[in-house]
Amino acid sequence: MVTPLPLVYAPNEIFRKKATNIDIVDNNLRSLIDRMIKTLYVENAVGLGANMVGILKRIVVIDLQENHTKNPQVFINPEITWYSDDYQIFNEASVCFPGISANIKRPNAIRLTYVDYDGEMKEFEAQGFLASVLQHEIDYLNGKIFLDYLSKLKSDMLLKKMKKHMKLYPPHIHGEGCKH
């Protein structure tokens, strides 16, 4: 049975550190990725960067679960190689920054290179919501958070709101007994 990994909650210095590249895709790495995917589902998230679970490795897992169908995607060593000139705004949040969200402006489309679950080098293009999710998660790997796109005043206000939320609703590992 695959067990989820515990989330790291803000504020934490790991969100300011750059994740390191992965040299070898082996069964140990795939086991870690499987646990990240399990965490993604347990937390009802659409994406996770490895540092969100305390691991400074360049791994992103996502699943938009379109039509309520699970379709996890794994991106090892993702690097964005192209950004579109047109932008979009989505309301972004993070399971590691509970209780807050903000409208973030990002390029509408991206192209990236990455290594897949089987160790194969791939290219991928994304647009719309998927492009924003990938940029959000890859930002984590680069030591950047979604609040960095806001003014210091707005970011500080949201962090204060998050701390209040966490006092009222302390984080925990979600399980079968959860009522949310």
137 as an active site residue: the answer is yes
173: pLDDT strictly greater than 80: no
Which stretches does DSSP call E strand in 2-129?
A: 47-49, 59-62, 73-83, 87-94, 97-107, 109-115, 121-127
Instruction: Determine the average pLDDT of the residues in 1-10.
Output: 94
174: pLDDT strictly greater than 90: no
Residue 176 lies in a domain: no
Residue 41 lies in a domain: yes
Helix, strand, or coil (residue 64): coil
User: 12-40 pLDDT, tens per residue?
Assistant: 999 999 999 999 999 999 999 999 999 99
59: pLDDT strictly greater than 60: yes
Q: Model's pTM, two decimal places?
A: 0.94
Residue 51 lies in a domain: yes
C-alpha 95/C-alpha 7 separation (Å) is: 8
72: pLDDT strictly greater than 60: yes
List the structure tokens of 63. Answer: 């699943």
Domain range enclosing 73: 13-168
Residue 175 lies in a domain: no
Residue 3 lies in a domain: no
- Encode 139-150: b = buried (16+ Cβ within 10 Å), e = exposed: bbbebbbbbebb
Residue 78 lies in a domain: yes
CATH number for 69: 3.90.45.10
User: 126-145 pLDDT, tens per residue?
Assistant: 999 999 999 999 999 999 99
C-alpha 172/C-alpha 40 separation (Å) is: 14
How many structural domains does the chain have?
1
Residue 87 lies in a domain: yes
Q: Which one is catalytic: 66, 120, 123, 137?
A: 137
95 backbone φψ class: left, alpha, beta (φ>0; ψ -120 to 50): alpha
